[in-house]
Amino acid sequence: MSRIGNKAIEIPSGVNATLEGQTVSVKGPKGELAVVLVDNVSVAMEDGSIAVNPRDNTRKSRAAWGMSRTLVANLVEGVTKGFERRMEISGVGYRAAVQGKDLQLSLGYSHDIRFPIPEGIKIECPKPTEIVVSGIDKQQVGQVAAEIRDYRRPEPYKGKGVKYADEYVFRKEGKKK
């Protein structure tokens, strides 16, 4: 039994939600998002809230129930508040800067990395060693942050690289004499 799926999603004021078959569209102050849910769940709008329920009691329906409810909840949260992912850069000479529609990264390679900022994503660098990725689509924000991190993942000996602000890098001891 899904505990998350049982909760109905409240629609705040200023947000319009429409339902067409398995497609849920949400429009709010920050933008508009839509998701197509799997056929194993049913979606219903009831007086200011959206309810997601399994169509039958099969294992696949129950497995998709909580995930489908979370996808719809992320749409509502994205168009009202938005999502952001903070990243930190550590290492001598490692830095980042936004130049036009690109993110310029100096990560110890022989060349600078130019990362084109995708549509719908906003990247800021309040400090040269800090990156803030924000947007309304949670999946896209996480994907962009993961792609930036993949250019130089944090290494375990000195901790140099690009890491999430809330990430803990497990440090190893160097070799002994």
Rounded CA separation 138/74 (Å): 7
SS3 36: strand
Check residue 2 and give its pLDDT: 65
Rounded CA separation 35/129 (Å): 35
Q: Which two tokens stand for residue 165?
A: 């602000």
Check residue 6 and give its pLDDT: 87
Q: Do domains 9-80 and 83-164 have the same CATH topology?
A: yes
Rounded CA separation 85/134 (Å): 6
Which CATH superfamily groups domain 83-164? Ribosomal protein L6 (3.90.930.12)
Run means of pLDDT, 10 residues per run, the chain, 177 residues: 83 91 92 93 90 91 91 94 95 94 94 95 95 95 96 94 94 88
Radius of gyration of the chain (CA): 21
Domain ranges of the chain: 9-80, 83-164
Q: Rounded to whole angstroms, what are the CA distances from 53 to 59, 68, 109?
A: 13, 9, 51
Check residue 1 and give its pLDDT: 60
Rounded CA separation 73/154 (Å): 32
Q: Which residues contact 124 (CB under 8 A, 6 or more apart)?
A: 98, 131, 132, 134
Q: Which two tokens stand for residue 177?
A: 């004499």
* CATH code given to domain 9-80: 3.90.930.12
Q: What is the pTM of this model?
A: 0.89
